[in-house]
Amino acid sequence: MVSPPPSSVLDLAPVVPVVVVEDAADAVPLARALVAGGLPAIEVTLRTPAAPDAIRAVADGVPGAVVGAGTVITPGQVADCVAAGARFLVSPGWTDALLEAMRASGLPFLPGVSTTTEVVALLERGVREMKFFPAQAAGGTAYLRSLAGPLPQARFCPTGGIGPASAPDYLALPNVGCVGGSWMLPPDAVAARDWARVERLAREAARLSAGARCR
């Protein structure tokens, strides 16, 4: 029996791994390592031809994983990701057409923003949960902190340039629900299929997020 999609992307896990899959055969062991390390929410980006098959494989073969699709930029991709079994959708930016397709999918989604105007425009359309991208280049924690006062109803998943050193500062902000990053997936570890190392780094990331919440 397929469980319903989550009600919110931001509440799935404090750290969401952003995954680029070159070989769909790696998707299941990679996802198992992340879940075992305490990071069940996994964003597979649509940057490679293997991505749809990777999403399908994780959705079908990794109990405990909540697999989503990232870098979704067209309504057609929304439909393809839903068919593949994605449980949430993430975009680097948004248009009205893309926003309506994501809304119509029935899945939770995070449209990307990097300016106050974009945030206000989404709030006007009834969207309160957003991806802040590219986080470091767009102003980082200082920018997000400045939004919390005038726009407290907006919540964010900052992604882009975030690592283990900066993640706690983001997670300590009142308007940040989670962060996205790929530091627990070093290219050399993935290329070597060193899933034990990925699991260890995922576990460290999960502990890091817990520590940030308790500061």
**Active site positions, annotated:** 43, 131
The pair phi, psi for residue 86, each rounded to 5°, is -60, 145
Question: How many CA atoms, within 13 angstroms, populate the side-chain half-sphere of residue 144?
Answer: 29
**How far apart, in Å, do the first and last CA atoms of the chain sit?**
39
C-alpha distances (whole Å) from 154 to each of 92, 116, 137, 159, 162 are: 17, 11, 20, 16, 20
Here the tokens at position 102 are: 């994501």
* Residue 11 backbone class (left: φ over 0; alpha: ψ -120 to 50; beta: rest): alpha
Q: At what angle do helices 195-213 and 27-36 cross, to 10 degrees?
A: 40
